[in-house]
Amino acid sequence: MQQILPTQCPLCAGEITVTRLYCPACDVTIEGRFAVGHFLRLTPEQLAFVETFVRCEGKLSRMEGELGLSYPTIRSRLHDVIRALGYEPGKEESPSSPRISDEERLRILEALNQGRISTQKAMALLQGDMSGIDAEE
């Protein structure tokens, strides 16, 4: 029986670096320093939760029935997994990334420069709120 790759040293709890990979099919060994993926940092319980999450297509209500847990408990466990993967729940991965195309950004700035829209409207549009774009133009 194969064992699951440990991610922490059993002696000092330091992060383990994988230095050797072996293929029994062709008897090849590869040596080097290999980073473990984010999912290998999850506990076995968290991995089981992620597997259930995928099987339930991300629907927490389906997970309630399958796991026999309340919605708040499932949501809390999901947040634990998100944190273990190195993210903060409820926050976008890269909030500074543009939400609109460069052409649309230019069009909005031109409308602002020509006085067709207010500064507040331009700010909202540049942040991706495209509702009512024609209202002030």
- Whether 72 and 105 map to the same domain: the answer is no
Question: Is 44 found in the same domain as 72?
Answer: yes
45 within a domain of the structure (yes/no):
yes
Spatial neighbors of 89 by CB under 8 A, at least 6 apart, are 78, 79, 82, 83
pTM (two decimals):
0.52
Residue 72 maps to a domain = yes
Q: What is the pLDDT of residues 46-93, one digit of tens each?
A: 999 999 999 999 999 999 999 999 999 999 999 999 998 888 888 665
Query: Quick check: is 70 in a domain?
Result: yes
In terms of residue numbers, what domain contains 119?
98-132
Indicate the number of domains in the chain: 2
134: left (phi over 0), alpha (psi -120 to 50) or beta: alpha
